[in-house]
Amino acid sequence: MTAEKIKEIVAQMTLEEKAAMCSGADFWHTEAVARLGIPASMVSDGPHGLRKQDQEGDHLGVNESIKAVCFPAGCGTAASFNRELLRTMGETLGSECQAEGVSVILGPAVNIKRSPLCGRNFEYYSEDPLVASEMAGALISGVQSKNVGTSIKHFLANNQETRRMSSDSRIDERTLHEIYLAAFEGAVKKAKPWTVMCSYNKINGTYAAGNYQYLTETLRDQWGFDGYVMSDWGAVNSRVEDLKAGLDLEMPSSGGVNDKLIVGAVESGELSGEVLDTAVERILNIVYRYEENRDRNVVFDRDKDHEMARRVAEETIVLLKNDDILPLSEQAEIAFIGKYAMKPRYQGGGSSHINSHKVTSAMEAVKGMGNITFAVGYDDQADQTDEKLLEEAVETAKRAKAAVIFAGLPDAFESEGFDRKHMAMPDCQNELIEKVAEAQPNTIVVLHNGSPVEMPWVNKVKGIVEAYLGGQAVGAAVCDILFGRVNPSAKLPETFPLKLEDNPSYLSYIGEEDVVEYREGIFVGYRYYDKKKMEVLFPFGYGLSYTTFSYDHLSVDKERMKDTEVMTVSVDVTNTGNMAGKEVVQLYVADRESTVIRPVKELRDFAKVELAPGEKKTVTFTLDKRAFAYYSVRLHDWHVETGEFDLMIGKSSRDIVLTRTVTVESTVRLPMVYTTDTTMGDVKKNPRAWEIAREVLKKDKDLFGGQEEAESEAASEAISAEMNAAMEEYMPLRGPVNFGGQVTMADVQALVDRLNALEE
């Protein structure tokens, strides 16, 4: 429907109807206006499956939803580093929504993994904003290709569950743009989600639902978002002010309470009728975009989509360790140990919980093989060692050629609504792994978890497989990896630290009462660990394969570029092993010298390439200004400093295999604002400014003659020369006055005025 036609419909609506349109009719539907032919529109939880509730609605997944297909959670799909896979998964979800009459699926969730403790990390993608944004964009494109909307969430800075409805995320401007906004920015600009869901929390003192700066100035004015903004369920705090800020749709229904506030505000003149009309137009635009593209012939084929979930899961499983133990022989006597081999933990708890139509466990996947034995090993209902189960597991492992322990985090350890208290797995599971590894040297651990865990037994087992929360077909996918039917190709989208205390947010995570200070700034995840040169358990971007890959011929289309241009980077990748496989090629950029504090390197692009044994392919990347820039708080924009940058091709953030240096020229000069406190060293950065300053200040000969004289003295006076030079470098322009020189403050202020005139 055209914008003009929607405006005509809105013009026919009463004030009360407009106000009602800005909140849900119930838990999952927008309002209908029968007399004008406006239909109700259903939204439903996601993002890794369809949680459609036909009857009693609730946001935390307590009440049962329809039978659906649970795909791997975001923690796993991000590990695929495969945009096409995510797009295909999105297409499948979009078709399911069409079959079930759902107009918008609530997701993807792209909030940054600031700490391993966040209870909702299983739903989020990465510690890196590029990975989060690219994976989200791919899923959005897939879903919306089926004329079904998405709702990218939770905007903004929702990185913990503790006090999530009242906490205040205090984040500096640069960090917001480089890390937390960046996770949303690329997906919004390129994939254009139909809707955006705001978060519960405050950002620097203002609730997300009423934050005009981000809902309007950033999201709409800067990024070009043209859909509607909806609240997270119950996130509205001040309905009229939130509407002014850019929050169009309140969910769920307020029972008419907030509708009356809107009506009253318009009647009193507190709220412009144009603001209300605009919000209604945005909502109806999406309602009709779906309604006019309904496909009632689509069938929700759950079994077919189950197989799709299996294919996705196969690319989300990360091989973390392999001491010549994997893949396993399908004929060998293998012991499967652990409750999760029989009943896998394959999804997180809360609003994304899917009522799976079936679940394939590892034991079901090996049914009929005849060479697999099983022992429960532990019960995840309580963290207590059952000596009988432990003894049975050890004896089962001893009788086999190899033991595979299926372990991880139970539902009670991670879920929406609460944060983890530590990074440990249950003690009973750690003990099981230790005891089995003592009895069976060929032990492999398969992990089912939504975020990093500590591994005190890492050096006592031969293999570690990170299955994340791999969806309802995870058991079949894990067995495909274990037995070599599928070559593992996933990489970690987050760093696994050795211990919780190593995490950069450790000292300030959760915050004090309702205030959470993001004191680590831009140094989130690998940006911090690399800068500190810290040992980690497994680095960002890491993952093993059953084959090997070599890289060569790193080339660029230009050695030097202006920041208004683009650079093409290419590298050849060869499968040097004996098995077909997929490799994630990672391109990092490092600023060799910067006047601002920057990470050692940052991921700027990635590509997944499939290669047969002996096959070579050329992978090409395109880098623009943003690949080399940092966010300048002086410009309130992205800025590149002229200089040399290293282009790094890596197998992980800690395994850089090729490097090439290029030069980037800035076309924007960062303006300098001079004051009487500006140091002489900073003035020297502009030769013309320093020339003027020396002319004004030269009457203090002792100050400006000392360095030359000291440098001509004997070696014993070298320290004095260095001291004098340092004192001059860091002396403010007012320094000569403070030391009783002949220069007056009037001279200094006049100098400052002349220097600032140079910048105009």
Q: What is the pLDDT of residues 424-479, one digit of tens each?
A: 999 999 999 999 999 999 999 999 999 999 999 999 999 999 999 999 999 999 99
Rounded average pLDDT over 544-563? 98
CB distance 385 to 431 below 8 Å: yes
Q: Characterize the bridge pairing of strands 567-575 and 549-556.
A: antiparallel
Q: Give the mean model confidence (pLDDT) for residues 311-320.
A: 98
Which phi-psi region, left, alpha or beta, contains residue 254 (left: φ > 0; alpha: ψ -120 to 50)? alpha
Instruction: Please work out, in degrees rounded to the nearest 5, the angle formed at the alpha carbon of residue 542 by the alpha carbons of 537 and 546.
Output: 115
pLDDT of residue 717: 59
- Predicted confidence at residue 740, as pLDDT, reads 77
277 catalytic? Reply is: no
Peptide bond between residue 154 and the one before it cis (omega within 30 degrees of 0): yes
Count of C-beta atoms within a 10 Å radius of residue 103: 27
Cβ-proximal residues to 363 (8 Å cutoff; 6+ apart), any chain: 336, 341, 342, 372, 374, 475
Write the single-letter amino acid at 87: R
State yes or no: cis peptide before 39, omega within 30 of 0.
Answer: no
Burial of 465 (0-12, 13-18, 19+ CB in 10 A): buried
User: Are 492 and 485 a contacting pair, CB within 8 Å?
Assistant: no
| pLDDT band at residue 57 using 50, 70 and 90 as cut-offs | low
Given pLDDT bands bounded at 50, 70 and 90, which one contains residue 709?
Answer: very low
Q: Is it the case that residue 55 has pLDDT exceeding 70?
A: no
Sequence-distant (6+) residues with CB within 8 A of 139 are: 47, 77, 86, 87, 89, 90, 93, 107, 108, 150
DSSP 8-state symbol, 519: T
Distance CA 93, CA 626 (A): 32
Angle (deg, nearest 10), helices 3-12 and 273-291 = 120
| CB-side neighbour CA atoms (13 Å) of 337 | 33
Provide the pairing of β-strand 334-337 with 402-408.
parallel
Predicted confidence band of residue 116 (pLDDT cuts 50, 70, 90): very high
- Residues 45, 128, 168, 232: which is the catalytic one? 232
Mean pLDDT, residues 397-401 taken together? 98
> Kind of pairing, strands 149-155 and 402-408?
unpaired
Residue 439 vs residues 333, 396, 403, 458: alpha-carbon distances, Å: 15, 10, 10, 16
Is the Cβ–Cβ distance between 70 and 356 less than 8 Å?
yes
pLDDT band at 736 (very low <50, low <70, confident <90, very high): confident
41 pLDDT higher than 90: yes
Q: What is the DSSP string of 652-677?
A: ETTEEEEEEEEEEE-SSPPPP---TT
The secondary structure of residue 379, as a DSSP letter, is: -
What region does 528 belong to: left with phi over 0, alpha with psi -120 to 50, or beta? alpha
Question: Which has more pLDDT, 704 or 577?
Answer: 577
pLDDT at 59: 53
Mean pLDDT of 123-135: 98
Helix (H) or strand (E) holding 705: helix 701-711
Percent of the chain's residues with pLDDT above 70: 96
Distance between CA atoms of residues 738 and 278, nearest Å: 59
Answer positive or negative: Cα dihedral of 151, 153, 154, 157.
Answer: negative
pLDDT of 697 reads 82
Separation CA 149–CA 430 (nearest Å) = 43
- For the segment 55-71, the average pLDDT, to the nearest whole number, is 74
Q: Please report which residue ranges of 380-525 form alpha helices under DSSP H.
A: 387-398, 427-439, 474-482
SS3 sequence of 350-379: CCCCCCECCCCCHHHHCCCCCCEEEECCCC
Q: Is the pLDDT of residue 686 over 80?
A: yes
Residue-level pLDDT at 526: 98
What are the φ and ψ backbone dihedral angles of 299, each rounded to 5 degrees? -115, 135
Share in percent of the chain as helix, strand, coil (round to 5): 35, 20, 45
pLDDT in tens, 475-518: 999 999 999 999 999 999 999 999 999 999 999 999 998 999 99
Task: Say if residue 376's pLDDT is above 50.
Answer: yes
Output the pLDDT for position 714: 52
> According to the model, what pLDDT value does residue 739 have?
80
Number of neighbours of residue 299 by Cβ within 10 angstroms: 10
Portion of the chain with pLDDT greater than 90, in percent: 90
pLDDT score, position 708:
44
Element (DSSP H or E) covering residue 587 = strand 581-591
- Quote the pLDDT of residue 283: 98
Measured N-to-C along each axis, helices 302-314 and 474-482 cross at an angle, to the nearest 10 degrees, of 40
Does the bond joining 488 to the residue before it have cis omega, within 30 degrees of 0? no
On average, the pLDDT of the chain sits at: 95
Condensed to tens digits (0 to 9), the pLDDT of residues 133-143 reads 999 999 999 99
